[in-house]
Amino acid sequence: MKIYYKLSDFQHNGNSIVTTGTFDGVHLGHQLIIKKLKEKARELNGETVLLTFWPHPRLIISPHDNNLKLLTTIDEKLEILGSLGIDHVVVLPFTREFSELSSDKYIDEILVKGLGTKAMVIGYDHRFGKNREGGIDYLKKHSDRYKIEVTEISRQEIENITISSTKIRKAVLEGNIKIANELLGRPYSFSGHIIKGRQLGRTIGFPTANVALQKNYKLIPKNGVYITKVHLRNKTFGGIMNIGNRPTVDGIGTSMEVHIFEFSDDIYGENLKVEVLEFVRNEQKFDNIKELIAQIEIDCEQALKYLNEKN
């Protein structure tokens, strides 16, 4: 898969089969669109092109809205798309100027001249151009003028995709990781770098990696304990993670701490990826450290059993 961050870098031959959207999460609904895109490309002997935008449009239109949390960062999204067999991904910078483009200019400058679009695979409710004035009906009406064949994704399919996105966000926020992972078609994950914490875990026999997120708009599961897989130094480890404010210890601030099984190296400053596999329990306050240690031992035993069964 080739990635382009400037429209001028994309050299087309007028044979592009295009779909477009934010594709946050690249979940099973999005994957259905991509499957149809690939089928249409085979039918027309074309090349698949996915057009997406960054920053997310809402980050530009509503810059002070701190409630926007995304299932995937742009890097995560591109990594997932790369595994789905797409030929080209064009990432256009979304700006206020871009949002002011008329529908005619969007079609002419982006779809026709920029991408060389021969056919599009888009939803029945797809909108584009200033004030979202353009849509699939406009494209169909002027198909002879622009010579773009349009394959419509039905209302039911689009509603299923919308529902899936909403359900996934809700599930992650509520700790229903099993539901989120089923709708994503893979484990929910996040990446970050390892920072120094209070190192209390090391003193009680359970050293943890304190993970600082790479992006603050990334959606994080609710506070609690989770079974995880950790990707570090090109290897994969099992682990158990706590998200929360450590009420038994200090109850100050929110942290993400991962205890990596069968691993004890110094990894401060390194990057890792955490896959969230299963919710174990809510975070809770214990009367003393001894009770906390006993519960961590139970959590680890449960996690190891889960990982062994899955393997």
Nearest to 113 by CA among 78, 144, 148: 148
Could you give the dihedral angle defined by the CA atoms of residues 257, 192, 226 and 237, in that order, rounded to the nearest 10 degrees?
Answer: -90
CATH number of 189-310, picked from 3.40.50.300, 3.40.640.10, 2.40.30.30, 3.40.50.1820: 2.40.30.30
- Give the separation between CA 241 and CA 228, rounded to whole angstroms: 7
Nearest to 41 by CA among 93, 86, 90, 99: 86
- Give the separation between CA 260 and CA 272, rounded to whole angstroms: 11
For 9, other C-beta atoms within 10 Å of its C-beta total 10
- Give the separation between CA 56 and CA 72, rounded to whole angstroms: 11
Q: What is the sign of the dihedral through the CA atoms of 285, 288, 289 and 295?
A: negative
Q: Per-domain residue ranges for the chain? A: 2-168, 189-310
Q: What does each C-alpha distance from 259 to 10, 243, 274, 304 come to in angstroms?
A: 44, 12, 11, 12
CATH number of 2-168, picked from 3.40.50.1950, 3.80.10.10, 1.10.3720.10, 3.40.50.620: 3.40.50.620
pLDDT tens over the chain, length 311 residues:
999 999 999 999 999 999 998 899 999 989 989 999 999 999 999 999 999 999 887 777 777 777 788 999 999 999 999 999 999 999 999 888 888 888 889 999 999 999 999 999 987 777 787 777 777 888 888 778 889 999 988 777 777 777 788 899 999 999 999 999 999 999 999 999 999 876 665 666 688 889 998 788 899 999 999 999 999 999 999 999 999 987 666 656 678 999 999 998 888 999 999 999 999 999 988 888 888 889 999 999 999 999 999 87
Residues 6 or more apart in contact with residue 190 via CB below 8 angstroms: 211, 213, 218, 220, 273, 274, 276
